[in-house]
Structure 1
Amino acid sequence: MASSLEESLRVVVVDDHTLFAEGTVSLLSSESYISVVGTAKNGSECLKLVQTKHPDVVLLDINLPDFSGTDLIEKIKGIAPNVKIIMLTGQSPEGYVNASLNKGANGFLLKDCTKSEMTAAILQVSSSSGQYYFSQNMAPYLRSVIVGEEMRTNTMESKKISGTFLTPKEQEIIELIAQGLRNKEIAAALEIKNRTVDFHVSNILSKLGAKSRLEAVLIYTKDQGMGDRIS
């Protein structure tokens, strides 16, 4: 796996729509830290590329002519257990998300995403912290399949922060972020899955208009009159 931005991340694009695949290659090729090492139109071609090109990341269409992208995940992981897989879809991902994540996918991108979002997703899933990535527009689909796992009875109420409302779980998570915990540590503390924490953190950043965890904490603590809690 690539260990730094000086070492290009090797990416394989798997999509049977030639125009989308070629467009994706063109966009990613303009980034010095990404090297597209192959494209595939079907699952069989994908597996050959994974065997021969040793990618760090596979951008995988959910629907392929010979395989369901969801079924292909396990085959890819069987060849390269450490490869990161980002699922691509141009349609509603409802019904695919939970199955894909359970089989080992590391994130989801909608095909109408921007170049900056696609590159951010590749970087995030490839990071040493092993985070998941979800397109922000996927929140309606993720909420039922991911957040549902920890929807337990809670006496807390949603709280208005910086003009928006944070859910009880988001409040718990931002408090732990403010204490310096990383996502994996937060998942362990709250007894939820890593991907659930990633989803909530993404929502928190979006709701607060923050570009980083630190900025989110600053907004939160300032709003709550707790500015002395961080230095």
Structure 2
Amino acid sequence: MNDNHFKFSPQVILLPMFSVLLLWMVYWVEVRYGSLSDYGIYPRDITGLRGVVFSPFLHGSLEHLYNNSLALVVLLAALAYFYRELAWKIIAYGILLSGLITWIIGRSNYHIGASGLIYVLVSFIFFKGIMTKYYRLVALSLMVIMLYGSMAWYVFPDVDNSLSWEGHLAGFVAGFAFAVYFRTPEYKKMIRYDWERPDFDPSQDKFMQRFDENGNFVNPPPPETEEEPLAPEQHPVFTYRFIPKEKSGG
């Protein structure tokens, strides 16, 4: 698989746009008709299991929703462009697995918000890019860690008790598991030059022949020239002039 594998598609724009739009629509419903926090994850309670599906769409404040929306736009666009075959699997399975882990280890309180999914995306994109060792995906991993590396602090307890560190940790673990489990193609850089080909022979290349075994530039031997045949002798050129006969008088 070469560089042509990464192609822009409408999904790169539509997926983050509609996902964030859905979150804001749900928040409008909450503002208009009342909080839906009871549909969040409530750990180790059978009724609380419904929050595994519903909790990513629920937010407790406008600031909470705003921060998650910005992160989702960037991360979902990157996922759709660089991992388009896996995008929907990572999102769907990420919501379920991170939600189940939160339900198992979480404190006895309602856990809501898309933060768990955000940690899934950050973790998956970072670890998968490092594992592939492909320069574009490694660069993406480094960009993600520059933007969201500080989020790693919030997977630990007591850093901020107002946040669900359990949901963050669950998303981080789920993303790492997906990076290990899901396979990606063997990415190869697209061949543009002859010297990038595996069967390239430097000894047959005209440019490489200008260097000796120590890498020093050498002048090529003078080209062999064939002796030009001697020019034929120039034959004399005669010009002719018509001389009329003189008329005799009579």
Same fold judged by TM-score > 0.5?
no
Who wins on radius of gyration, i.e. which is larger? 2
* The structure with more strand, counted as a fraction of residues: 1
* The structure with more helix, counted as a fraction of residues: 2
Identify the structure with bigger relative contact order (alpha carbons < 8 Å, sequence gap 6+). 2
TM-score normalised per structure 1: 0.28
TM-score normalised per structure 2: 0.27
